Structure 1
């Protein structure tokens, strides 16, 4: 089955970015969310990004019109009946994702691949709630999607070779570099990144240094473009905590224990850039 029309579930930062990149690659994209207002806000944001690309001479005004015309708003998962592949980019909550996948399994045509943009949750478990486990796969895009080239393509225990090959081809068509990963907690990106962030938080917790000093060491000493604590603020400390919990539970290893300071900050509502305060302060 040729992939020409896809559904992206979730009009947030990740889902919106995936939808934009797919539309730019010539795919028709059904952008689904529970609230039409969320979709309209995201389409307006995408329009603004395309205007910046016009100003930089990267695309023409006609190209912008074509891209936006490929983005189709949807507030009903039943619209998945008319697509060739679905990418779920809803909130990182297993119960919610399982509910979405059960519905998609009933609605989507036979042979349609169901992909999840999850950053850490097990693909095998998502596949198990469907009657098409061989067609369930992970497509973990990096943020911001229009800029970052990597896609972790995660194979569940039942994912078929054909499903992987088709998703690899689609990723490349979208201008991304797919990396094959097997289904273990955190995959590659977050299994490496989150313990580093967690250890940086422990350095503050233990009084080793302040946040600015820790970030400076990693930027100037390790050539990281952004310090781990600034990055944590941009990711969202609640998201960081949730991923560390997945690692801690999945491996049952104390090296993945979330730092108590991270838990305390999340409970206080200090979630990083999106709340205006994390390890640094932001004017939102």
Structure 2
């Protein structure tokens, strides 16, 4: 299906997706920004692959899977890729710049997939050399265990590219859903405003964080309360998605909570900083 895959972005999502590609036998190059990132990414990939091999009960050895992953700071001049998966931070200007920076490593057949949870795929596709080959593929964290993938064609994406990406995600043992290019798509258009409202309830002192989360776990059968989930996602990510929804729609129901803004300003981002609505 794909002989040479490039993953741009080596954060939680990039590493998670790259490990899943390699587990299915694909050769993957991960582009990172520094030697320090190379050093810290290797043990993270080892942990991801080890867990997945155990969970999926696969016979491949850990070393064989890891041998399919190449971590580089720069791409070779002669390199070209038939599938590019971009998983940098949720910033449309940065994503557009990445597209321009790596145009020299694609061909007219290269599919470029952006992992976005809220941004306009059509807007990004318009800046790609072959817009019919541009698509949104939104994996969820943690990639290994979350089954859902949102496949988001732009207004310019060809049907054949949608079909190929659908088959690719199915091969990865994911369950894709097709979504029109719209603010927040399905999951985040429902989920993030709920989290934002939970922050508003907390801000209004209607209930404590623990009480809010317990109410949703016990009353709605949510496995994780909305504020604990915000800490897991990252409060900065939740804020950026709310801002994207608000900017795209101008609808007041998507206005970010003032408390959420303050949490982000104070670097209380959740698990990744050790403190958010809870301490870790």
TM range (shorter): over 0.9
Which one of 143, 157, 160 corresponds to residue 159 of structure 1? 157
CA deviation after TM superposition for structure 1 residue 76, in Å: 2.2
CA deviation after TM superposition for structure 1 residue 121, in Å: 1.1
Which one of 109, 115, 133 corresponds to residue 117 of structure 1? 115
Distance 1:196 1:53, change over 3 A: closer
Do the aligned partners of 1:248 and 1:257 also contact (CA within 8 Å) in 2?
Answer: yes
Give the RMSD, CA atoms, in angstroms. Answer: 1.7
Do the aligned partners of 1:197 and 1:228 also contact (CA within 8 Å) in 2?
Answer: yes
**Structure 1 Cα separation of the partners of residues 95 and 55 of structure 2:** 38
CA deviation after TM superposition for structure 1 residue 8, in Å: 0.8
**Structure 2 Cα separation of the partners of residues 53 and 115 of structure 1:** 23
Residues 61-87 of structure 1: per-residue CA shift (max 9 Å, x gap): x52121101001122256794321000
Distance 1:165 1:103, change over 3 A: same
Matched, 1:24 2:23: yes
Task: Write out aligned runs for 1:1-284 (5 A).
Answer: 2-52=1-51, 58-60=57-59, 63-77=61-75, 81-282=79-280
Do the aligned partners of 1:5 and 1:27 also contact (CA within 8 Å) in 2?
Answer: yes
**Structure 2 Cα separation of the partners of residues 273 and 231 of structure 1:** 10
Unaligned runs of 5+ in 2: none
CA deviation after TM superposition for structure 1 residue 177, in Å: 1.0
**Structure 2 Cα separation of the partners of residues 171 and 12 of structure 1:** 20
Do the aligned partners of 2:49 and 2:62 also contact (CA within 8 Å) in 1?
Answer: yes
Do the aligned partners of 2:80 and 2:105 also contact (CA within 8 Å) in 1?
Answer: no
Do the aligned partners of 1:12 and 1:38 also contact (CA within 8 Å) in 2?
Answer: no
Unaligned runs of 5+ in 1: none
Shifted more, 44-53 versus 140-149: the winner is 44-53
Do the aligned partners of 2:87 and 2:114 also contact (CA within 8 Å) in 1?
Answer: yes
Distance 1:118 1:39, change over 3 A: farther
Do the aligned partners of 2:19 and 2:48 also contact (CA within 8 Å) in 1?
Answer: no
CA deviation after TM superposition for structure 1 residue 52, in Å: 4.5
Residues 201-256 of structure 1: per-residue CA shift (max 9 Å, x gap): 01011111010000001101111110000000011111110000000010110000
Q: Give the TM-score, by structure 2 length.
A: 0.95
| Secondary structure at 2:137 match in 1 | strand
**Structure 2 Cα separation of the partners of residues 56 and 149 of structure 1:** 14
| Secondary structure at 2:272 match in 1 | helix
CA deviation after TM superposition for structure 1 residue 131, in Å: 2.1
Distance 1:158 1:77, change over 3 A: farther
CA deviation after TM superposition for structure 1 residue 198, in Å: 0.3
**Structure 2 Cα separation of the partners of residues 184 and 41 of structure 1:** 36
Residues paired across the two proteins, number: 280
Shifted more, 244-253 versus 170-179: the winner is 170-179
